[in-house]
């Protein structure tokens, strides 16, 4: 019974979904529990299907908070957050978890890798939680491992000695690339990347961005990439300054890089 309800909740409300924005935020207000004032107040924010979007803003201005709201990890006190035609607040917790597992590849600021699993096991993890992503991989590759190795190879992480290690023994930059491969596996429709290049040197940063863009373009995925590093902006289709769309004044401190 619960399963049937969940399936119904996840049906898109508009049949012609390609014409609708992938992200559509209206009248959003979010305050952290115990917070006195809102961190984010956004009247309108839209992202079209297939866009490669760069969201810039200084430390503390609410970038990670915005991403938490897009993925349904956080819920707003006011307003509507619609992602891939689903009104996030209208989904049950179970449906939100399933929606996230099926549709969103999330590169976390702190990576959130499972420390005792190997590199390959971490990369294929989303396919254990999402049958949809697993099926997509197996339509194109003979195994999940093969696809994990393809993605890792693009990120210069296919050395067999590295792959055998638990991820806790990798460098921070290597972990960041494992987190990227994990987000991309199974072609989720929306890729969300929270400061994903902060620990990478120039060469690895370029390989990382190239893979991200190639995978998004070939699958038609939409990319929302947040960073305070303005030098990355020219690589993207569109740049949005969070402090411009966020009505809460004085969001964040420090200079933009
Ligand atoms: N779990 C939390 N509980 C309460 N307040 C929080 C929490 N996480 C963040 N905040 C507050 O919300 C504001 C925005 O934080 P957020 O982490 O979204 O900023 P950010 O732009 O991602 O910063 P950075 O570039 O340093 O990652 C900050 O004032 C922060 O103190
Ligand atoms: Mg952050």
**Ligand 1: does its nearest atom lie under 6 Å from the Cβ of 130?**
no
Largest CA distance in the chain: 53
Tens of pLDDT, residues 18-46: 678 999 999 999 999 999 899 999 999 99
Q: Is residue 84 part of a domain?
A: no
Q: Is residue 119 part of a domain?
A: yes
**Ligand 1: does its nearest atom lie under 6 Å from the Cβ of 39?**
yes
Output DSSP code: residue 90.
Answer: G
Under 8 Å between Cβ of 63 and 40: no
Domain of residue 63, residue span: 47-74+92-245
3-state secondary structure of 182: helix
Q: Is residue 9 part of a domain?
A: no
Tens of pLDDT, residues 169-214: 998 888 988 999 999 999 999 999 999 888 888 888 888 898 899 9
pTM here is: 0.88
Q: Is residue 128 part of a domain?
A: yes
Q: Is residue 37 part of a domain?
A: no
Overall number of domains in the chain: 1
Ligand closest to CA 242: 1
For the domain that residue 174 is a member of, what is the CATH number? 3.40.50.300
Distance CA 64, CA 53 (A): 15
Q: Is residue 61 part of a domain?
A: yes
Distance CA 191, CA 53 (A): 10
Nearest CA, atom 6, ligand 1: 32
Q: Is residue 104 part of a domain?
A: yes
Q: Is residue 24 part of a domain?
A: no
**Ligand 1: does its nearest atom lie under 6 Å from the Cβ of 254?**
no
């Amino acid at each position: 019974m619960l399963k049937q309800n969940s399936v119904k909740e996840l049906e898109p409300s508009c049949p012609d979904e390609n014409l609708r924005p992938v992200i559509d935020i209206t009248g959003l207000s979010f305050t952290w529990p115990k917070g006195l004032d809102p961190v984010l107040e956004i009247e309108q924010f839209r992202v079209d299907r297939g866009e490669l979007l760069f969201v810039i803003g200084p430390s503390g201005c609410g970038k990670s908070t915005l991403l938490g709201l897009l993925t349904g990890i956080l819920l707003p006190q006011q307003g509507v957050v619609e992602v891939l035609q689903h009104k996030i607040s209208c989904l049950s917790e179970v449906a939100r978890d399933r929606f996230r597992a099926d549709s969103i590849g999330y590169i976390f600021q702190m990576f959130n890798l499972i420390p005792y699993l190997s590199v390959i096991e971490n990369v294929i993890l989303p396919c254990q939680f999402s049958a949809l992503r697993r099926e997509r991989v197996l339509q194109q590759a003979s195994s999940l491992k093969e696809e994990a190795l393809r993605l890792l190879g693009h990120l210069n992480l296919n050395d067999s000695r590295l792959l055998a290690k638990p991820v806790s023994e990798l460098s921070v930059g290597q972990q960041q690339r494992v987190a990227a491969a994990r987000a991309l596996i199974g072609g989720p429709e929306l890729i969300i990347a929270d400061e994903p290049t902060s620990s990478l040197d120039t060469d690895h940063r370029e390989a990382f961005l190239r893979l991200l863009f190639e995978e998004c373009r070939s699958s038609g995925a939409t990319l929302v990439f947040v960073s305070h590093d303005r030098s990355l902006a020219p690589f993207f289709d569109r740049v949005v300054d969070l402090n411009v769309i966020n009505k809460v004044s004085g969001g964040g401190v420090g200079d933009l890089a």
